[in-house]
């Protein structure tokens, strides 16, 4: 059963520097483990089918998997976030203003993607995100790297404890990230807690299918994927407008 518990970095009271450190480490490990590599071909085919001129990535954090995926999708990628973290992203376009995935500005047209963030939204909000994409006739892809399973939760917890060894290798360098990791070890503790809660909040394939019930003007594809260097098995949902005859 899905549990919508609170993640610490979702709270308005969470210090921005701690939130940035969390998203920095998440992006670092996602790319290091090639967790989203199998998504590249799926996404490219969906983008080609919609003839989108760009991808508008929502809830981008510190860039997620785009360091590895950007060259595979065939169109430019624009990163957006409710709390823009441009300092954590290099060599990619980042929308300067705050963008809430639930109310995407009309001028930000393009194939929409959400990586490792769809679980932040309750079912009514998640459904609204999908409905908005359908209403605007924009393709959408939702991708998560973990499931509600003991193995995934154990791996996620172990990975976040790895911040103690890996944080010095994350670039760009920031003293705030180092301080949150060692004086005291807030980053590994908060990351472990939020990581396990993320697994508990993640939608299963069956729940994703239920969210799009009735949105019949789109073709919906669901499934699982697993990166070659990742022990985590993720889920995906891709929707594109049906072809008209």
- Give the closest residue to 30 by CA, choosing from 73, 78, 71, 62: 62
Residue 180, token pair as written in the block: 């949150």
For every residue of 174-212, DSSP letters joined together read: -HHHHHHHHSS-HHHHHHHHHHHHHHHHPPPHHHHHHHT
Q: Which helix (H) or strand (E) holds 156?
A: helix 150-161
Structure tokens at 67: 């360091």
Report how far residue 174's alpha carbon sits from residue 168's, in angstroms, rounded to the nearest whole number: 9
pLDDT at 149: 86
| Tokens 């290091």 found at | 32
| pLDDT score recorded for residue 244 | 64
Residue 58 CB burial class (10 angstroms; 0-12, 13-18, ≥19): buried
Query: How sure is the predictor about 127, in pLDDT bands with cuts at 50, 70 and 90?
Result: very high
Report the pLDDT averaged over residues 18-34: 89
Q: What is the pTM of this model?
A: 0.91
Highest mean pLDDT among 20-24, 131-135, 150-154, 241-245: 131-135
**Average pLDDT estimate for 203-212:** 96
C-alpha to C-alpha distance for 111 and 53, rounded to whole angstroms: 8
The residue-averaged pLDDT of 80-88 equals 76
Residue-wise pLDDT tens digits, 210-230 = 999 999 999 999 999 998 888
Query: For the domain 13-241, what is the CATH code?
Result: 3.40.50.150
SS3 28: helix
CA 194 to chain centre: 14
Give CA separation, 98 vs 15, 42, 71, 81, 169, in Å. 17, 28, 25, 6, 29
In angstroms, rounded to a whole number, what is the distance separating the alpha carbons of residues 129 and 126?
A: 5
| Run of H or E residues at 123 | helix 123-135
**Sheet hosting strand 233-241, strand order edge to edge:** 93-98, 77-81, 55-58, 111-115, 140-144, 233-241, 218-226
Average pLDDT over residues 7-35: 90
pLDDT classification of 78: cutoffs 50, 70, 90: very high
Average pLDDT of span 69-96:
84
What are the residue boundaries of the structural domains of the chain, listed by start?
Answer: 13-241
């Amino acid at each position: 059963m899905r549990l919508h518990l609170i993640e610490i970095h979702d709270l308005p009271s969470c210090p921005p520097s701690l939130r940035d450190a969390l998203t920095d480490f998440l992006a670092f490990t996602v790319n290091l483990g090639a967790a989203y590599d199998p998504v590249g071909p799926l996404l490219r085919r969906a983008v080609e089918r919609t003839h989108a001129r760009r991808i508008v990535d929502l809830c981008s954090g510190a860039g997620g998997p785009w360091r590895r995926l950007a060259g595979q999708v065939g169109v430019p990628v624009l990163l957006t976030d409710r709390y823009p973290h441009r300092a954590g992203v290099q060599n990619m376009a980042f929308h300067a203003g705050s963008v809430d995935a639930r109310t995407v500005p009309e001028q930000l047209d393009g194939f929409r993607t959400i990586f490792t963030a769809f679980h932040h939204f309750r079912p009514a909000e998640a459904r609204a995100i999908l409905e908005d994409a359908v209403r605007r006739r924009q393709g959408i892809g939702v991708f998560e790297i973990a499931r509600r399973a003991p193995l995934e939760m154990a791996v996620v917890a172990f990975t976040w404890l790895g911040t103690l060894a890996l944080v010095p290798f994350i670039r760009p360098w920031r003293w705030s990230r180092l301080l949150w990791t060692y004086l005291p070890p807030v980053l590994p503790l908060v990351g472990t807690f939020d990581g396990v809660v993320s697994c508990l909040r993640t939608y299963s394939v069956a729940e994703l299918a239920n969210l799009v019930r009735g949105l019949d003007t789109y073709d919906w594809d669901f499934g699982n994927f697993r990166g070659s260097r990742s022990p985590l098995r993720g889920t995906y949902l891709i929707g594109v407008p049906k072809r008209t005859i």
